[in-house]
Structure 1
């Protein structure tokens, strides 16, 4: 999708929040990415798309765009000059172009400080109008209640539960479904 004119609109995007930055991922983020992503506690709350252990090859594949489309508004979370997490929406297609799926993670060192709540708010304040979105949706593992609180503080409503939807670490987990509707 490199010819998509909207992709260039956020190529140099930088959002600031209380000393934190949201910006595009760079090749020189590899060591920081490995430091924060290769953590079993981080991965326990994420989908199976996020590998563990998180290897150098995984990081290189991610940063080169072989894992996700880096032309989408996928941003690194930078704290104290170091990339330590990520946030993105994946817009729908066809009849769902007004809908996007939200995903995010943050290195454990930065948990419990209210940072992710502010990051989600700032990111969506930019992404919703920039992409013409009316609905944001996401799912949260039952083992990640902190993420559910982040969403609720950002106006998301719990819309349902997909019971036993995911097998992780040898047991079935429920996925809690969340959505947020924007006024048109």
Structure 2
């Protein structure tokens, strides 16, 4: 594992590598139904300290680094990451993110998405970054649009979340050659 960790600096926040002491702050900010309700079911709810420790331990030795802490004032207040796909999709990554509800509306997430997108295109050999958004989450759609993503389509009745059948809005940004 390379010890050259990436840190991406935004205005009022940093995207950085994971530290073992991030678990408590992660658990505090992630344990929120207003966050869980817009993410995949693999995101735990309630978000226990055990889940936080497990996640942090899994993220400690990434190579390449594709998952970052959103750090505000030295605290892990959110996460942004890429899931690099395989096979014929190997030059595409799926983007996922969340930030503490206490920081919603402050413009951090569009900046964070722009930073990780530039990092991915420059360092990971990707040509496309894609995000799927639940149809009941217009705030996230607006965040992606502010970050330069374009809505490419809507997959009807593609998601079941909290017992509701939802459409999935597909957003993407392409590397310019």
Task: Report the TM-score when normalising by structure 2.
Answer: 0.92
Match of 2:101 in 1: 108
Shift of 1:37: 0.4
Match of 1:63 in 2: 56
CA distance in 2, matches of 1:181, 1:12: 25
Query: Structure 1 regions of 5+ residues with no counterpart?
Result: 3-7
Which residue of 107, 110, 114 maps to 1:117? 110
Match of 1:5 in 2: none
Cα deviations by residue, 1:4-61 (Å, 9 ceiling, x for unpaired):
xxxx27x521111113111011110011001100001111111111111111111121
Shift of 1:97: 2.3
Q: Which runs of 4+ in 1 moved over 2 A?
A: 68-72, 92-97
CA distance in 2, matches of 1:54, 1:144: 20
1:83 to 2:76 alignment:
yes
CA distance in 1, matches of 2:41, 2:111: 26
Which residue of 23, 35, 52 maps to 1:30? 23
Which residue of 24, 29, 41 maps to 2:34? 41
CA distance in 2, matches of 1:89, 1:153: 18
Cα deviations by residue, 1:121-141 (Å, 9 ceiling, x for unpaired):
112122211111111111001
Match of 2:167 in 1: 174
Match of 1:18 in 2: 11
Which residue of 39, 43, 46 maps to 1:50? 43
Aligned length: 176
Spell out the pairing of 1:135-154 with structure 2 (5 A cutoff): 135-154=128-147
CA distance in 1, matches of 2:137, 2:160: 15
CA distance in 2, matches of 1:113, 1:56: 27
Describe the SS at the equivalent of 1:113: coil
Describe the SS at the equivalent of 2:143: helix
Shift of 1:69: 8.0
Task: Report the TM-score when normalising by structure 1.
Answer: 0.89
Describe the SS at the equivalent of 2:58: coil
